[in-house]
């Protein structure tokens, strides 16, 4: 991976910027050099991170620049970590803090963290005084290959995933792949699921990398991770540029998510990682495909085996969900999915690698793969 810049272009009529700059950086994350906190600048910066990221050794110099969360005109807030904080209350906390500190719509919000921080910071920026600019430093694999790219922002609501949000992309993103080495195994796996999803959707070469190198990838081989991140960014950027507001092709990026979001809701938000749920959902989607004779059984088995190589659950019903009527409870949650139209579940169904359909499916077809 080079220290260079990759651009994603947007239709500016829909959002606060017409272009995202993704800066790929090598070596130990050095946010002091990137942002120079405290330096006099035309625009103030409001840095938002969480307790897990703030405690990383590579963040100590940056965090130490802030005395009582202030460094010159810049401000820092450290939030709680994880899915339980992906709420409208967190967004309002960010906005209230910015408002009390006198920030304007000409200033910049900077999210430093995983998917939750990227989503909540971007959402707060998008609605603060009708839109302040946002920059992101994704610190998890999931955020690098998916969550930070393309401008989807939002929070969970009423126990359902991403029910409130906007389309509002970051002006700049700074990628330090070295952050990945500090992730827990659980969070690392979560990011792999989104990258595997991208491979199935768009990139046979990336798919083969996952098939042929499971041990190296599970050991976080840096060269392979550079390839995985770069290919995932390029694939998603290409889709987002064609369909920013998800009217057609961008919806394919939700492969595994209709089932997966239901899994997260029924299990209890935060009980499993987003990636674990998505991986399980990919397995259920390919089973629907096989039952509908859209794909061959050997393709279905290949996908399930690939997911198993990375220790993802592929059973019809997630083992972490207790109680009766699990299939019916999952189906009910799937009907709340924001992508649905006409009160039918809208699913992304893989026929083969790089061959996907978007289709409304019957409740009976869903229940068939949940037993």
Burial class (CB in 10 A: 0-12, 13-18, 19+), 30: middle
pLDDT of residue 58: 97
Query: pLDDT tens, 215-269?
Result: 999 999 999 999 999 999 999 999 999 999 888 899 999 999 999 999 999 999 9
The answer for residues whose C-beta is within 8 angstroms of residue 219's C-beta and 6 or more apart is none
Please report the pLDDT score of residue 17 as a whole number: 85
Whole-number average pLDDT of the chain: 95
Give the distance from CA 164 to its chain's centroid: 15
Under DSSP, is residue 227 helix (H, G, I), strand (E, B) or coil? helix
Question: What percentage of the chain carries pLDDT values higher than 70?
Answer: 98
Residue 12, pLDDT score: 61
Nearest to 202 by CA among 231, 245, 241: 231
CA dist., res. 343 & res. 324, Å (int):
25
Is the torsion defined by CA of 247, 303, 313, 215 positive or negative? negative
Per the CB < 8 A criterion, the answer to whether 97 and 77 are in contact is: yes
Closest CA to 169 of 237, 262, 72: 237
Q: Quick one: tokens of 169? A: 């992309």
Q: What is the pLDDT of residues 85-139, one digit of tens each?
A: 999 999 999 999 999 999 999 999 999 999 999 999 999 999 999 999 999 999 9
Q: At what angle do helices 274-291 and 257-267 cross, to 10 degrees?
A: 130
pLDDT under 50: residue ranges of the chain = 2
CA dist., res. 346 & res. 315, Å (int)? 22
Selection from 109, 73, 67 nearest residue 91 by Cα: 109
* Pair type for strands 355-361 and 74-79: unpaired
pTM (predicted TM-score): 0.93
DSSP letter at 253 equals: G
pLDDT at 27: 93
pLDDT given at position 3 = 56
Strand (E) or helix (H) holding 356: strand 355-361
């Amino acid at each position: 991976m080079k220290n260079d810049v990759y651009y994603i272009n947007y239709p500016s009529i829909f959002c606060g910027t017409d272009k995202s700059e993704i800066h790929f950086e090598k070596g130990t994350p050095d946010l002091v050099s990137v942002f120079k906190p405290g330096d006099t600048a035309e625009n103030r910066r409001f840095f938002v991170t969480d307790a897990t990221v703030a405690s990383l050794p590579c963040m100590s110099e940056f965090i130490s620049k802030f005395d009582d969360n202030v460094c010159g005109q810049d401000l820092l807030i450290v939030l709680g970590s994880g899915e339980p904080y992906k709420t409208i209350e967190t967004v309002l906390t960010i906005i209230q803090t910015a408002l009390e500190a006198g920030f304007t719509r000409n200033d910049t919000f900077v999210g430093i963290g995983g998917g939750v921080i990227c989503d909540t910071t971007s959402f707060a920026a998008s609605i603060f005084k009708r839109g302040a600019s946002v920059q992101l430093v994704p610190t998890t694999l999931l955020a690098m290959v998916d969550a930070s790219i393309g401008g989807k922002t939002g929070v969970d609501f009423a126990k359902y995933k991403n029910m409130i949000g906007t389309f509002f992309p970051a002006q700049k993103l700074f990628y330090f792949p070295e952050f990945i080495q500090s992730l827990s195994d659980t969070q690392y796996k979560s990011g792999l699921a989104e990258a595997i999803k991208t491979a199935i959707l768009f990139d046979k070469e990336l798919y083969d990398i996952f098939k042929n190198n499971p041990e190296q990838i599970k050991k976080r081989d840096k060269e392979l991770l550079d390839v995985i991140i770069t290919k995932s960014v390029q694939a998603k950027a290409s889709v987002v540029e064609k369909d920013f507001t998800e009217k057609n092709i961008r919806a394919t990026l939700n492969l595994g998510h209709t089932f997966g979001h239901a899994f997260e809701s029924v299990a209890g938000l935060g009980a499993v990682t987003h990636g674990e749920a998505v991986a399980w959902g990919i397995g259920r989607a390919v089973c629907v495909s096989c039952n509908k004779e859209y794909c061959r059984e050997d393709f279905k088995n290949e996908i399930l085996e690939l997911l198993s190589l990375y220790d993802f659950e592929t059973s019809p019903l997630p083992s972490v969900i207790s109680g009766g009527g699990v299939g019916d409870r999952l189906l009910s949650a799937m009907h709340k999915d924001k992508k649905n139209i006409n009160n039918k579940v809208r699913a992304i169904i893989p026929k083969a690698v790089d061959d996907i359909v978007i289709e409304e499916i019957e409740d009976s077809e869903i229940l068939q793969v949940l037993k």
